[in-house]
Amino acid sequence: MESLVSTEWLAEELGAPDLKVIDATIFLPGAGRDARAEYEAEHIPGAVFMDLDEIVDASNAAPHMLPPAHKFSSRMQTLGLGDGHRFVVYDNSPLHSSARAWWMLRVFGAHYVALLDGGLQKWKAEGRPLESGKVRVRHGHFTAFVEEEAVADKAYVSGLVHSPSHEIVDARPASRFAGEEEEPRPGVIPGHIPGAKNVPQGELFNADNSWKCGDELRAAFYEAGVELDKPMVTTCGSGVTAAVLLFGAHLLGKNDVKLYDGSWSEWGADPATPKSVGSA
């Protein structure tokens, strides 16, 4: 299974016993939208809801930090997701949050994980079937182990500030990157990691919400001054849209990319970390 599948492909595969569809929609705090309620109102038939706000390390002050392996395994089993299944993840969010779920599943050892190109937006625009309510599932058996090399922590990123050998790439909108608007979470100072480049995650998509590809996708990084031949760390507000950049790099065949899980929610809340404002 490819890492990115089309709506046509999913429509043909829907109902296969080894295929599990996951809605991983999430919104920014204060967006005025309820992801779970929207899922229950309409979702792709058979899809389960992966709550990215809950499947976290609750002991960490930063939001969306990876949970312990046992918690992730437990949540996946409750959703009926198990070893040997093929997973297709989608969302209905401007954050393109399904990329975070794709990354998490891979970090915890899943082998067959894909994103639905265009997400629910494209699926609905094509008049494909939807259902409402909750999906009844049988518990799966998900064996979780963490691929530590895929994750960057604050200490690791601190060692890369202004490093000529690596790229730090921030997925937030340009105004947040520049520190021109308040962060959506209290106690977080506006700005960005010194030396970081800014590729707002929305620039990786076409008007119909499908992913750009090839030269168009590559240009989104090049135009921000990102050198794709260097190892990369992606960051954002809380580790969600950072996964969008990581997935985009993956589509270009680039896999020497780590995700800074704490992202700006952790970095910007720490008085000891260096911070920059303005464009890169």
Task: Enumerate the active-site residues.
Answer: 236
Sheet with 151-152, edge to edge strand ranges: 151-152, 257-260, 232-235, 167-170, 197-198
Residues β-bridged to residue 198: 170
Among candidates 197, 183, 194, 208, which has minimal Cα distance to 249? 197
What is the number of other CB atoms lying within 10 angstroms of the CB of residue 70? 9
134 CA to centre of own chain: 23
In DSSP terms, 71 is beta-bridged to: none
